[in-house]
Amino acid sequence: MKPAPFAYRRPGSLAEAVATLAGEPGAKVLAGGQSLVPLLSMRLAAPSVLVDINGVPGLDAVEVDDAGVRVGALARHAAVLASDDVRRVQPLVPMALAHVAHATIRNRGTTVGSLVHADAAAEMPVVLTLLGGSLDVEGPSGRRTIPADQLYVGPLESSVRADEIAVSAWFPALPAGASVAFDEVSRRHGDYALVGAAALVEDDRVRVGYLSVADVPTVVDLTGVADDDLGEAALEHLDPADDIHATAAYRAQLVRVLTRRVVGRARVSRQARQPKDMR
């Protein structure tokens, strides 16, 4: 199937892009296109105008300092994944990116685009939520920052307004002494996960984020829960569902398995990162 007819604009500045988007109520932003283009081809989306921001300079940067990682709207998954600085400052980001689709898609797809697409089966939204990151957006009223816990409001629905363009995402650095782990189970390599889990262990606090088990990326605080009870405690806050890929019961079992796995890996990693005289 071919997309429905649409107009095409390629602005040369962010200000021009915002103005173009605001002037077209039915417009959509095109960055990497790995989510949008299939929707166009299946006519699940029919924008009146595509606003291609790939001509806007400065949006492809990946900036890293001791406070965290800022990923520009045009930074491709592959570029973020390849950054040694990102891996050093916030290792959960490349851990999760390694599971995103296939190399071909990572070469074109953008990390910020995945965040804005707001798919609860995708890896990066749950990472941003677990880490307490944020998204910067630019609109006619100027720039604002949306905390991750206010970003996802429903299935494939974010709090980014129709006249706003996401310009960057912020992933806080891993605190000293903390550790992370990520894992997922899919039917085939590169498929969306049937269930995925990311763990953040800091001091005595244990938090785990889940994908593909709720309408939005969901983080559960499992601090103080015994290892044998981690999965069941997590399921009290999740809603696994049946679909053509897996039953709810199977997804629930994957939650049990993956929760213990990622928490265990994070604890092992934390011990390995500690100086010998502190163990």
C-alpha 125: how far from chain center: 3
Q: Mean pLDDT across the chain, nearest whole number?
A: 95
Query: pLDDT value at position 8?
Result: 96
Domain 179-273 -> CATH class: alpha beta
Element (H, E) at 257: helix 248-273
CA dist., res. 208 & res. 18, Å (int): 36
For the structural domain made of 62-172, what CATH number should be given? 3.30.465.10
CA dist., res. 168 & res. 112, Å (int): 7
Q: Percent of the chain scored above 70 by pLDDT?
A: 96
Average pLDDT for residues 249-264, to the nearest whole number?
A: 98
Task: Kindly give, in sequence order, each residue whose CB lies less than 8 Å from that of residue 64, ignoring residues fewer than 6 positions away.
Answer: 70, 83, 85, 86, 88, 89
Domain ranges of the chain: 7-55, 62-172, 179-273
Average pLDDT for residues 250-256, to the nearest whole number?
A: 98
Contact 178, 200 (CB under 8 A): yes
User: 0.75 exceeded by the pTM?
Assistant: yes
Going by pLDDT thresholds of 50, 70 and 90, the confidence category of residue 279 is: very low
Say which CATH topology domain 7-55 has.
3.30.43
Residues 166-194 have pLDDT tens digits of 999 999 999 999 999 999 999 988 899 99
CA dist., res. 278 & res. 161, Å (int): 48
CA dist., res. 164 & res. 148, Å (int): 16
Query: pLDDT value at position 154?
Result: 96
Least confident segment among 107-121, 137-151, 259-273: 259-273
The edge-to-edge listing of strands for the beta sheet with 68-72 is 62-65, 68-72, 165-172, 134-139, 142-147
Query: pLDDT value at position 2?
Result: 85
Going by pLDDT thresholds of 50, 70 and 90, the confidence category of residue 272 is: low
Contact 177, 161 (CB under 8 A): no
Quick one: tokens of 217? 């990326």
Residues 115-165 have pLDDT tens digits of 999 999 999 999 999 999 999 999 999 999 999 999 999 999 999 999 999
Element (H, E) at 71: strand 68-72
Fold equal for 7-55 and 62-172: no
CA dist., res. 104 & res. 134, Å (int): 27
Residues facing 205 on adjacent strands: 202
Contact 213, 240 (CB under 8 A): yes
